[in-house]
Each structure stands twice: as structure tokens, then as C-alpha cells.
Amino acid sequence: MCGIVGYVGQKQALEVVVAGLRRLEYRGYDSAGVAVIADGTLAVRKRAGKLVNLETLLGSDPMPDSTTGIGHTRWATHGGPTDRNAHPHVSEDGRVAVIHNGIIENFALLRAELEAIGVTLSSDTDSEVAAHLLSAELVRTDGDLPEAMRRVCRRLEGAFTLLAIDRATPDLVVGARRNSPLVVGVGDGENFLASDVAAFIEHTREALELGQDQVVAITPDAVVVTDFDGQPVDATVFHVDWDASAAEKGGYDLFMLKEIAEQPKAVADSLRGRITAGHRLQLDEMRIDESVLREVSKVVVIACGTAAHAGMVAKYAIEHWTRIPVEVELASEFRYRDPIVGPDSLVIAISQSGETMDTLMALRHAKSQGARTLAICNTVGSTIPRESDAVLYTYAGPEVAVASTKAFLTQIVAAYLIGLYLGQVRGTMFEDEIRRILDELADMPRRVDLVLDTTEPVRALARELVAAPSVLFLGRHVGYPVALEGALKLKELAYMHAEGFAAGELKHGPIALIEDGVPVVVVVPSPRGRAVLHDKIMSNVQEVRARGAVVIAIAEEGDEAVAAFADHIIRIPAVPTLMQPLVATVPLQVFACEMATARGLDVDQPRNLAKSVTVE
Ligand code: AGP
């Protein structure tokens, strides 16, 4: 997510803002910029890359002294990470500077409207439209920046935190938020705006949390909050008792815990703007012609680790919806097995970082065989999407912890959208079917939230099993890749032996591993989906229980059959079969995280691992 900082007061704004951006670096970004008001003019400096690039520019091209300023670190969504796409964006008349965090869903319409009246836009971003709209409203409101902001916000759709300064009104910074965070730091003769408190807690620990659809105007001695219609709002003041390091994690002890908690928002953001009001798919951003999709004879997923598990989950859905065969290939194996791919193959490369060398080399091989390539990626402008024919980004925001969590859920969501799009384009799905599934997906953030509210039993269980030498994971159908993912989390975080199996495979060897006290986590399919899957896994549970296993069942609310055979039951919401991975995975993430914590290990940076494996 982007980092946002605004300041007005007695200090040098540039110093306060740049220091604040440094505090927000953990959020991940690919460009940075600042703007200040000095002597009735706007001074703006911005650069692609890390803050050091901006600071080098500021050294060679210094800003004037000023006590009013805004700053931004950008995590690219619309428009690559370049100088011209970096924020702040300035209105054509040079009057207003704006910074933005989020996605303005109706930006294309607004861009067209601005171009139609002769405005020249200078970037590829959605954010820039806000600068031009604000300057037009400033004229209409006779320079009333808060009112101009309210009028603009009423026209925007999507998720946004906006900050703006007007060269004609120094000592004023105006902010607004919808579906994106904005907090106020309340100082003595100075005030701050930021995407999170980490940016200003070295100056003040008194803060205001803004609510949905609110506009805030800060001057050195006042903070005025209204709703988008101009009605005054009493914002709640709170005291920040986190230290700076904890503030970077949003108050969580670990980035992984923060990112597990961000999963409902990550799923919602990855759906945002892709489902129309009429509940139809809108994937214009994918640049593969529908006629090409109609000719696809097979889909090949190439990925590594967690991303490969997401591909395995997607296989069940895409084959069910489109009747197109889906092969899921470990990228590191793909190009060495002389794969059969060609112009009628759609190769989907799934990668959070977009830089995994195994996946990149597999992608290049697929392209050399003439295949159409599509990336599912969380990092805009990274190598894998750049080298793919098309890309569907997951908007999970930066994933800092090495162990992938929110990326996994959003990779599944993105792959499902592609599967539904294939079904829609090829006519293998009825519109009402697609609509129903889109509604199910749209309800998943709420369901994941429900799981997050009930994680204490999972944590307690992890602490109880802290000395276990190994844990086995069983699943069937889409629960099988979930079992693999649960095992991977435990391996990479707690450094313990863990193995995931297709439950039906037990009797073909792995059951020899079962003896007294062996913990076995079972991802239980919904009894409402395919009853046979549920019945079969109940048999598997009895087989391992009879041999002394300690059975931990991940089972949906209302599934009482499991109670007779499980030593522990972790309940998840009852959801449609293909949606279960989005809720069943969360307890397994928490289990592994807690196990590693109980073992005193470095959860966010486990030994021997890198967040992005850029070597083969
Ligand atoms: C998962 O927790 C690991 N971090 C690892 O398996 C990761 O998923 C894999 O290296 C792929 O990374 P990517 O998604 O950035 O390509």
C-alpha cells in the first residue's frame, strides 16, 4: 500500500514529511515524491525507485523552506513505477498538488471527461484525475479547498485516501478517505496526516482515526472533520501507545500477523472494480483477445511454493467451470520436462513477487513454444507480468513476511476470476451461474473476517503441540492443496517436519507414519458439497484415529459428523465447496505462525529463506 504523509506547523515540512515516509517504507513502494508550498508557489520533487533516489534529487535540486507539505511512497497499481507516474500529481494550472493511496475505479471515465475539455494528463495513473478535478472545483468554490475536496470525492468510486495542498492557501492540508486508511496526528501548533501513525508518532501520540467518507482540513492550530456533504463530524481521539517499530506493523507484533489480518481487505481489493453493478465480470485490463481465449485447448499453471498451491486450487474450479484441462506445473520442473505447450495453450504464471527466477524461466520457455501467457502477480511492473502477454494483478498490498498469506488467498481469487472469464467468453457457463459465484466471492471477505475472530483455539493448540516432532495434513479435492499449504507454512516457519497428503493416498504408504500421538490436521470437505468427499475423509479420519493419531479437524460450522472422530475441531464458516480454501487456509496460517512463535523463532524472516527467490 502507498505511504502518505502531510504536515502543517512550525517545522520544516520537507524534513517532517521525508522522515515520515521513511517510517512507512516497510509498506513497500516503487517511487516517492514530495510537494511543499513556498511564497505562493508549489515545489514538487518525485522519483521512481527508493527514497534514496528522491533524496539524491533533493540534494541536487533543493526545495525552498516551507511549513506546509505532503509526501508519498507509491505502490504502483495503475501505471508502472516511473518518475512521471510518481506522486504528487499537479493540476494543469500548477495550483494543486495531490497524493493518493487506493484505486479510483471510475478513473477512465473521468480521464476521458477531462481530456474532452482539453485537459492534458501527464501520467498513466488513476490518481492524477483528482488533481485536475480539484483545481476545477477550487475555481467554482472560490478557493475553498475542503469544499472542493468534498465535491471531488462525491464523484469518485473505489478506494482512496487523498491529500491535497493549494499554493493559494499555505498552512492548510486537506485529506479525504474512503475504503483506505487516514489518521490525523494532533500536535501543539502543528498537525499531521498519514496512512498510519508510524509516520508521526515521534512528534505526537495524540491521534484521530477518520471514518468512511470523511474530509479533514488541518492547519497549525485546528483539525476540522466533515462528511462528504460538509456535515461536521466528531472524530474520536486516541492515544498511540505503540512504539515506532510496532507502529510499522500496525500494532501487530509481526508482519505475518498483520498480513493474515489484512486478508479480508486483500480479497475485497482484488475483486474491486472487476465485478460490475450488474454482477458481471469486467476484466478489461487483461489484454488477451476473446477470440484467443475461445481457442485455448489447455491451461498450464506455472508457479512455485505457495503460488503453486494456489494454482492447484484453481485447477479444480477452472476445469469445473470451463471443461478445459488444467495442468499445474512446478515452474522449476516445467521447462526441463520438454512440456507440450503451443499457441493453443494458455500458460498462467502465478507469482507474488513477479521476480521468482524458476517461474520467469518457465514463462520464457512457454513463450518460446508459442503459448499465450498471463501473469497473476502482486507487484506491479515486476519482470514476470512485464514479460507476459497479459496480467491480472492481485491488490493484496505489499507482503513483507517471507511466509506468503494474503497473496495466497488473492492468487486463488484472481485465478477464479480468470476461470469465470473463460467460462463467460466460451459460453460454458450460464450468466446466472457466473453471477452466483461472483456473489459468493464478494461475500468471502466477510467470511474470512469471521475466521479471524476465532483464532484463539488454533493458537492454543499450536502451543500444546509445540514439541511435536512432525504434523501431517490431509485433504481431498480443493482441500488437498490446502493441506499442502498448511504443511509448507509449518515447515518454513517452525522448521519442523510437516507433510500434506491427498487423504486417499494414506493407504498407499503414508499411513505407516501414523502412531500414538502423531498430530494429523484434516481439512474436512463440506458435507453439503459432494457428500462422498466428506464420507471418504471421515473414513480416513477413523483410519488414523484407530492407529493413535491426534486428529485436528478443520470443519465447517454445523458439520456434527466430525465430532465423533476428532480430538480437536477448528470451526470455519460453511461456504460453497470451491470457496472453502479461502477460509480453511487461515487457521493453518495461524497455527504455523503460533507454533513458530512458541518455538521462539523469527517468524517474519525464517532461516534460509528469501521473500523472492531470484536464483534458479
Ligand atoms: C511461501 O510462503 C513462500 N514464501 C514461497 O513458497 C513462495 O510462495 C514462492 O517462493 C513463490 O514466490 P512468488 O509468489 O513471489 O513467485
- Has residue 244 got a pLDDT over 70? no
153: annotated active-site residue: no
- Has residue 17 got a pLDDT over 80? yes
Find the mean pLDDT for residues 329-355: 95
400, 329, 328, 406: which is closest to 585 by C-alpha? Answer: 406
What's phi and psi for 556, nearest 5 deg?
-75, 155
Find the mean pLDDT for residues 1-13: 92
Quick check: CB of 104 below 6 Å from ligand 1? no
Q: CA-CA distances (angstroms) from residue 16 to 10, 23, 65, 191, 200?
A: 11, 11, 12, 11, 8
Q: Which residue has the cell 499554493?
A: 167
The residue ranking higher by pLDDT, 116 or 615, is 116
Residue 51 has what DSSP assignment?
Answer: H
The residue ranking higher by pLDDT, 434 or 287, is 434
Average pLDDT value over all residues in the chain? 93
Q: For 565-609, what is each residue's pLDDT tens digit?
A: 999 999 999 999 999 999 999 999 999 999 999 999 999 989 888
At residue 287, what is the residue type? R
DSSP 327-369: EEEEHHHHGGG-----TTEEEEEEESSS--HHHHHHHHHHHHT
Contacts of 366 (CB under 8 A, 6+ apart): 300, 302, 334, 339, 341, 345, 347, 349, 373
- Quote the ligand 1 centre to 304 CA distance (angstroms): 6
| Residue-range domains of the chain with CATH | 3-247 (3.60.20.10), 255-442 (3.40.50.10490), 453-598 (3.40.50.10490)
Give me the pLDDT at residue 610, please. 79
Q: What is the Cα–Cα distance from 154 to 133, expressed in whole angstroms?
A: 11
At residue 453, what is the residue type? D
Task: List, in sequence order, the alpha helices (H) in 95-144.
Answer: 107-116, 128-140
Q: For residue 175, what is its C-alpha cell? A: 485529506
What's phi and psi for 522, nearest 5 deg?
-120, 120
Give me the pLDDT at residue 246, please. 67
The residue ranking higher by pLDDT, 605 or 11, is 11
Give me the pLDDT at residue 1, please. 61
pLDDT band with cut points at 50, 70 and 90 for residue 88 = very high
- Has residue 428 got a pLDDT over 70? yes
315: annotated active-site residue: no
Q: For 117-134, what is each residue's pLDDT tens digit?
A: 999 999 999 999 999 999
Q: State the closest ligand 1 atom to the C-alpha of 404, by its place in the atom list counted from 1.
A: 2
Selection from 47-51, 372-376, 560-564 with the highest mean pLDDT? 372-376
394, 392, 399: which is closest to 410 by C-alpha? Answer: 394
Q: State the closest ligand 1 atom to the C-alpha of 612, by its place in the atom list counted from 1.
A: 15
**591 close to 461: Cβ distance less than 8 angstroms:** yes
- Quote the ligand 1 centre to 609 CA distance (angstroms): 10
Helix (H, G, I), strand (E, B) or coil at 454: coil
Find the mean pLDDT for residues 433-457: 95
pLDDT band with cut points at 50, 70 and 90 for residue 616 = confident
Quick check: CB of 356 below 6 Å from ligand 1? yes
Q: What is the Cα–Cα distance from 272 to 393, expressed in whole angstroms?
A: 11
Q: For residue 391, what is its C-alpha cell? A: 496480467
- Has residue 238 got a pLDDT over 90? no
- Has residue 76 got a pLDDT over 70? yes
Crossing angle of helices 431-442 and 444-452, in 10° steps, is 30
User: By percentage, how much of the chain surpasses pLDDT 70?
Assistant: 99
- Quote the ligand 1 centre to 353 CA distance (angstroms): 8
In SS3 terms, 4-38 reads as: EEEEECCCCHHHHHHHHHHHCHHHCCCEEEEEEEE
181, 228, 218, 157: which is closest to 8 by C-alpha? Answer: 218
CB-based burial label for 298 (10 Å; 0-12, 13-18, 19+): middle
Cα angle vertex 462, ends 458, 467, to 5°? 165
pLDDT band with cut points at 50, 70 and 90 for residue 30 = confident
Give me the pLDDT at residue 282, please. 83
Best residue among 260, 352, 485, 605 to mutate for probing ligand 1's pocket (most ligand atoms within 8 Å of CB) is: 352
pLDDT band with cut points at 50, 70 and 90 for residue 24 = confident
- Has residue 236 got a pLDDT over 90? no
Q: What is the Cα–Cα distance from 258 to 242, expressed in whole angstroms?
A: 14
- Quote the ligand 1 centre to 612 CA distance (angstroms): 7
Q: Region of 431 please: left (phi>0), alpha (psi -120 to 50) or beta.
A: alpha
Q: For residue 110, what is its C-alpha cell? A: 473521468
pTM score of the predicted model: 0.79
Quick check: CB of 404 below 6 Å from ligand 1? yes
Quick check: CB of 613 below 6 Å from ligand 1? yes
pLDDT band with cut points at 50, 70 and 90 for residue 227 = very high
Q: What is the Cα–Cα distance from 19 to 37, expressed in whole angstroms?
A: 18
Find the mean pLDDT for residues 495-509: 96
**194 close to 27: Cβ distance less than 8 angstroms:** no
Give me the pLDDT at residue 286, please. 83
Q: State the closest ligand 1 atom to the C-alpha of 306, by its place in the atom list counted from 1.
A: 8
Helix (H, G, I), strand (E, B) or coil at 136: helix
pLDDT band with cut points at 50, 70 and 90 for residue 27 = low
Give me the pLDDT at residue 607, please. 84
